[in-house]
Amino acid sequence: MAEQHLSVGPEGPSFHGKTLEQHVLAAQRKIPHATGDLTGLFSQISLAAKIISSQVSKAGLANVLGYTGETNVQGEEVKKLDIFANEVLVRCVQQGGTVCVMGSEEVAEPIAIPMKYPKGKYVLQFDPLDGSGNIDINASIGTIFSIHRRITPGEGAGSLKDCLQPGREIVAAGYVIYGSSNMFVYSTGQGVHGFTLDPAIGEFFLSHENMKIPARGDTYSVNEGNYHKWAPGVREWVDWVKRSEGERKAYRLRYIGAMVADLHRTLLRGGVFAYPADAKNESGKLRLLYEASPFAFLFEQAGGVAVDGSTQEGGRILDIEPTKLHQRTPLFIGSPDDVADVLRFVAP
């Protein structure tokens, strides 16, 4: 007769599955000499993501409850959500001793760690609230981040040099999407994994393990309002992709105007997202260090491709050597077969 376990406490697999922290920790355990700092940094980022997500879900109450505008009911000045998200990330991370410098879309210069906190070996760069134009219409927005190892010597403050590293040196990257559910998607170079926030428990639980992008999709995603400002090759690609020809069906167009949402869909369903250069934005619109590079890292990990269209081979985003913190880049990213199609039209 099987032995009966009458002891207290759960036995066997937890019914909720693995949390984000458990997953990162398990991956780090496989790396010899890992100190736990990266796991610590992930805990700090995920705490920030939960705070931002809770605030984003109340954004619609803004005018009703006086949460935004000049002052709130306590007479305190209330910050715009993107400034709030930036401060949450900075505060959650700076005291943890895991990073030596940070870079943010919201801050012109690299963000120093205050004297009173220890400095760590990592460099965190982020767009705290991407697609913030979507807040007022209750559409999806997100947070994007990348993590590099510091390259300046010593254990003191990091500098701009630490921020200006190509994407191929990324140690980890990820995004959080605040959508119909909230998800945290990350990679440390061992596949791409997605976690869904259970708001009742306040934890991200593994829901999408080892995400892979389909080799080809049926959707293109681009701001076609810029059509007349594009180079001829980009216009020819868009004309071609939305035309049915023989066996090939016209692609559908999907574009919400927040790259986290557009790229989350592209990662899951396949297809291609583009933000090309145009007559107004000669280097494209999206920022290399905290928008294009982290997504390029994630997409390559998932079997996708990310290029700027500058060479016959494509111009790999992860190989661009940055020279400025807020540098912009054209971006074509998605399923390998779809990006190859784009390059037939746009590559020089």
Binding residues (CB under 6 A) for ligand AHM: these are 105, 127, 130-132, 223, 257-259, 262, 275, 285
C-beta of 291: minimal distance to Mg ion in Å?
5
Minimum distance of Mg ion from residue 101's CB (angstroms): 20
338 binds, among Mg ion, ligand AHM, none (CB under 5 to 8 A by kind): none
By beta-carbon proximity to ligand AHM, the closer residue of 33 and 280 is 280
Which one of residues 106, 127, 203, 308 is an interface residue with Mg ion (CB under 5 A)?
A: 127
* Shortest distance in whole angstroms from residue 8 CB to Mg ion: 48
Query: Residue 162 corresponds to which tokens in the numbers above?
Result: 């630490």
Among 130, 203, 262, 341, binds Mg ion (CB under 5 A): 130
Interaction of residue 82 with Mg ion, rule CB under 5 A: no
- What would the two tokens of residue 229 be? 């400002």
The sheet that has 111-112: what strands, in order across it?
A: 111-112, 99-104, 122-130, 141-149, 172-178, 182-187, 193-198, 203-208
Q: Supply the minimum distance, in Å, between the C-beta of residue 221 and ligand AHM.
A: 9
Judged by beta carbon, residue 130 or residue 203, the one nearer ligand AHM is 130
Least CB distance to Mg ion at residue 174 (A): 15
Which residue lies nearer to ligand AHM by CB, 79 or 149? 79
What phi, psi does 56 have (nearest 5°)? -60, -40
- Contacted by 132, from Mg ion, ligand AHM, none: CB < 5 to 8 Å by type: ligand AHM
Stretch that binds Mg ion, among 81-89, 127-135, 158-166, 303-311 (CB under 5 A): 127-135
Q: Closest approach of Cβ 256 to ligand AHM, in Å?
A: 8
Cβ proximity to Mg ion, 127 vs 300, nearer residue? 127
Find which of Mg ion, ligand AHM, none residue 106 binds, CB within 5 to 8 Å per kind: none
Question: Judged by CB, which is closer to ligand AHM: 150, or 285?
Answer: 285
Residue 257, binding choice from Mg ion, ligand AHM, none, Cβ under 5 to 8 Å by partner class: ligand AHM
Residue 174's DSSP bridge partners are 145, 186
Closest separation in Å from C-beta 304 to Mg ion:
20
CA trace torsion 125, 130, 196, 137 (10° rounding): 160
How near is the Cβ of 104 to Mg ion at its closest, in Å? 10
Number of residues that bind Mg ion (CB under 5 A): 2
Structure tokens at 41: 């940094």
Residue 223 interacts with, from ligand AHM, Mg ion, none (CB under 5-8 Å by kind):
ligand AHM
List interacting residues with Mg ion (CB under 5 A).
127, 130
